Amino acid sequence: MSDMFLTLPEAPGPIGVFDSGYGGLTILRQIRQLMPAYDYLYLGDNARAPYGAHSFEVVYEFTRQAVETLFARGCHLVVLACNTASAKALRTIQQNDLARLDPSRRVLGVIRPTVEIVGELTRSRHVGVLATAGTVNSHSYELEIHKLFPDITVSQMACPMWVPLVENYEYDSPGADYFVRKRIEGILRTDPAIDTLLLACTHYPLLMNKILKYTPPGVRVVPQGEYVASSLKDYLRRHTDMDARCTRRGTCHYLTTEAADKFSENASLFMHERCEAERIRF
Ligand code: DGL
């Protein structure tokens, strides 16, 4: 998409939800449950997922393309339902690109709403963050948690195989057990006082059955969807100008950079409803 000639539609439009692949559907599901009246446009960059091991520069470039696409399709508000993109691209997009594209549009991430609730969840004040290598190396969770809760000890663990298991629809297979167990045991060995494990990648709730299987009792596993959804609702309540620019017909459409039929098939299984997708090219 050309930066110079991007003309954006002015009319109100759907709320954009972006992820590298299928993971953002775990966030979309919670948002739609909480706010079913709005229209949504989901974009999964499945052809280029996973983002986890890519450099800052590449994740920023891919995420910027996705945001521009969603803006061009009428979204005034976009949620980066991806921790890797939130960690590596959100700030630059907010600070540099919005001014050029349209300063009245907004892009929100998933890290802040998740971090805000951590203080209420942990009693031991020892928290584990399970995430992609990109999110772990950005140290975003550690930094943000320590800003709000300096007394909390944060341990991180990259789980590089977890996103490919989901993207390849292997998240319920017997082979997934090995990779899930290894990382859960690994992080709890790093800090046995952990009582809260944050699933800081939107793909991970799709591995929930396996994650719970290897998490000892007394350790709470926390997916982010619920917190991101309530934070978005609160945002729209506080920003009535933006709320007025989000249409409400209760629809949900899907865009993917992969083959449309493959996305539709997998997304329908994740969302428990028919999800017709359109393939796009950047
Ligand atoms: N779902 C993503 C996240 O929340 C991205 C995973 C990836 O593409 O590596 O981090």
Percent of the chain exceeding pLDDT 70 equals: 98
Answer yes or no: is pLDDT of 3 > 60.
no
Q: In what order do the strands lie in the sheet with 252-256?
A: 106-108, 77-80, 15-19, 40-44, 252-256, 277-279
How do residues 42-68 score in pLDDT, each as one tens digit? 999 999 999 998 999 999 999 999 999
Answer yes or no: is pLDDT of 197 > 90.
yes
Which residue blocks in the chain are alpha helix, DSSP H?
A: 24-34, 56-72, 83-88, 90-92, 98-101, 111-121, 133-138, 140-148, 162-167, 174-190, 208-213, 225-238, 240-243, 260-271
pTM listed for this prediction: 0.94
Domain hosting 196: range is 111-223
- CA–centroid distance, 254 to ligand 1, in Å, is 18
Contact indicator for 94, 205 with CB cutoff of 8 Å? no
Q: How many domains does the chain have?
A: 2
Residues 218 and 116 in one domain: yes
Torsion sign over Cα 34, 90, 165, 222: negative
Flag whether 1 is in a domain. no
Residues 118 and 218 in one domain: yes
pLDDT score at 2: 46
- Residues with CB under 6 Å of ligand 1 are 19-21, 23, 49-52, 82-84, 132, 135, 163, 201-203
pLDDT score at 6: 72
- C-alpha–C-alpha distance, residues 56 and 271, integer Å: 30
Q: What is the mean pLDDT of residues 192-200?
A: 98
Residues 241 and 146 in one domain: no
> Which of 17, 18, 20 has most ligand 1 atoms within 8 Å of CB, for mutation?
20
Percent of the chain exceeding pLDDT 90 equals: 94
- The answer to whether 82 is a known catalytic residue is yes
Residues 186 and 258 in one domain: no
CATH label of the domain that carries residue 146? 3.40.50.1860
Answer yes or no: is pLDDT of 202 > 90.
yes
Residues 235 and 274 in one domain: yes
Answer yes or no: is pLDDT of 227 > 80.
yes
Flag whether 6 is in a domain. no
Closest CA to 162 of 220, 196, 202: 202
Flag whether 7 is in a domain. no
Residues 48 and 97 in one domain: yes
The tokens describing 179, both together, are: 């990779």
Flag whether 3 is in a domain. no
Flag whether 179 is in a domain. yes
pLDDT score at 230: 98
| Mean pLDDT for all residues in the chain | 95
Residues 56 and 87 in one domain: yes
Residues 35 and 93 in one domain: yes
pLDDT category at 5 given cuts 50, 70, 90 is low
- CA–centroid distance, 202 to ligand 1, in Å, is 6
- Atom in ligand 1 nearest the alpha carbon of residue 21: 8
Residues 262 and 206 in one domain: no
Residues 239 and 206 in one domain: no
How do residues 112-146 score in pLDDT, each as one tens digit? 999 999 999 999 999 999 999 999 999 999 999 99
pLDDT score at 1: 53
Q: What is the mean pLDDT of residues 261-274?
A: 92
Flag whether 20 is in a domain. yes
Flag whether 4 is in a domain. no
- The answer to whether 201 is a known catalytic residue is yes
